[in-house]
């Protein structure tokens, strides 16, 4: 068996270390961490509130149609008992709920990837590796404990930085592929809550509200009976409740989804226009110092 040329081995390791640590900006910078956190938390809010409100809109449409039918019976051109939910049928709502949930999963997974810390696993694996190497008979004669510890530290620095760099590259690549899809979903979903966009679910909500106003007004106008007039007033109250939600709450949700699209643009920019910041500089200085110490130990 040939003698292990330790000096050559160490030089190789250090050259690789310097290349990995010195030439690359490995870990996520503070701007990337912040924009990712913002995007992820906004997907949670939008998905939770949006899902809840889609279901509420559907229930509101059913309640308003029931109220209208109780006053007018079957009307030409208006939905009947077999179509109380109108365009809010289960399939249509389920497709949009799935889109919101997929968006939520995307935001959460991206955050989980950014939060993954390979350090613990690498440190444990390095300790095991060094113990095994230390047990080799040729190594025992050519390298002391301090040098082995320095080697372990070098492996850890290389491993962690390599994984951080890979993680960052993975996020960048995912963002490049997914940005148009996220933008598309944000535009579509924001419009679903905006009654000013004809043809979207919020405009179905608007139409049902106005159908109820229309019928209740006729019912009030055509009846002398006090009980029926009260029934009409209750229907108008119900329509007013939903009109308020449509004009205020739903538009806020639409705005929040537009903001999510902006957060996605910021996130994309942070990863595609990578830059050094104070944190990256600190990391780099710390790594270079560690490498210098390692080099000194190994040269003894």
Partner 1 sequence: MPNFDMEIIEGDSDKPNAHTSIGAIIEHITTLRMQTRDRAARRELGLLYRKYSQLLQKKIDEVVDKDSQDYLKITGQLEKANESIQAAIAGTEQVANTLNFLTDAIQTITELAS
Looking at residues 214 to 253 of the shown chain, list those that interact with partner 1 (rule: CB under 8 A).
214, 217, 221
17 in contact with partner 1 (CB under 8 A): no
Give the residue, chosen from 5, 59, 70, 132, that forms a contact with partner 1 under the rule CB under 8 A.
132
SS3 letters for 171-215?
HHHHHHHHHHHHHHHHHHHHHHCCCCCCCCHHHHHHHHHHHHHHH
Q: By CB under 8 A, how many residues form the interface with partner 1?
A: 63
Give the residue, chosen from 96, 153, 242, 261, that forms a contact with partner 1 under the rule CB under 8 A.
96
Please say which residue, 34 or 172, places its beta carbon nearer to partner 1.
Answer: 172
**Which of these segments, 29-37, 129-137, 256-264, 278-286, binds partner 1 (CB under 8 A)?**
129-137
Looking at residues 99 to 128 of the shown chain, list those that interact with partner 1 (rule: CB under 8 A).
99, 102-103, 105-106, 109-110, 112-113, 116, 118, 121-122, 124-126, 128
149 in contact with partner 1 (CB under 8 A): no
Please say which residue, 149 or 181, places its beta carbon nearer to partner 1.
Answer: 181
Q: How far is CA 277 from the centre of its chain?
A: 24
CB of 129 to partner 1, least distance (A): 5
CB of 286 to partner 1, least distance (A): 19
73 in contact with partner 1 (CB under 8 A): no
Q: Tokens for 232, please give them.
A: 């009409």
* Residue 261: its H or E element: helix 250-272
Please say which residue, 10 or 99, places its beta carbon nearer to partner 1.
Answer: 99
Give the residue, chosen from 166, 262, 269, 286, that forms a contact with partner 1 under the rule CB under 8 A.
166
**Nearest-10 Cα torsion for 272, 39, 159, 284:** 60
SS3 letters for 122-155?
HHHHHHHHHHHHHCCHHHHHHCCHHHHHHHHHHH
Between the two ends of the chain, the Cα-to-Cα distance in Å is 25
Residue 121: count other Cβ atoms within 10 Å of its Cβ.
Answer: 13
């Amino acid at each position: 068996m040939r003698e292990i040329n330790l000096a050559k081995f160490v030089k190789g390791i250090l050259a690789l270390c310097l290349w990995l640590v010195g030439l690359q900006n490995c870990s996520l910078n503070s701007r990337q961490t912040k924009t990712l956190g913002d995007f992820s938390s906004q997907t949670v809010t939008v998905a939770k509130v949006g899902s809840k409100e889609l279901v509420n809109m559907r229930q509101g449409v059913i309640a308003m149609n029931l109220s209208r039918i109780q006053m007018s019976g079957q009307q030409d051109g208006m939905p009947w008992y077999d179509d109380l939910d109108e365009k809010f049928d289960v399939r249509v709502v389920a497709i949009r709920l799935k889109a919101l949930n997929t968006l939520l999963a995307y935001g959460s997974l991206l955050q989980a990837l950014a939060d993954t810390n390979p350090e613990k696993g690498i440190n444990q694996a390095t300790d095991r590796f060094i113990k095994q190497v230390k047990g080799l008979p040729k190594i025992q004669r050519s390298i002391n404990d301090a040098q082995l510890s320095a080697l372990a530290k070098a492996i850890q620095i290389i491993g962690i930085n390599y994984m951080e760099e890979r993680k960052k590259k993975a996020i960048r690549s995912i963002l490049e592929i997914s940005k148009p899809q996220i933008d598309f979903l944000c535009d579509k979903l924001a419009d679903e809550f905006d009654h000013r966009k004809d043809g979207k679910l919020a405009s179905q909500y608007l139409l049902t509200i106005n159908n109820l106003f229309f019928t209740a007004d006729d019912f009030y106008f055509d009846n002398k009976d006090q009980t029926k007039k009260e029934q009409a007033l209750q229907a108008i109250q119900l329509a007013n409740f939903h009109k308020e939600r449509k004009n205020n709450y739903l538009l806020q949700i639409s705005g929040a989804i537009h903001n999510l699209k902006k957060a996605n643009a910021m996130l994309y920019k942070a990863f595609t226009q990578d830059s050094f910041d104070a944190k990256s500089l600190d990391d780099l200085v710390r790594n270079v110092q560690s490498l210098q110490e390692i080099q000194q130990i190994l040269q003894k």
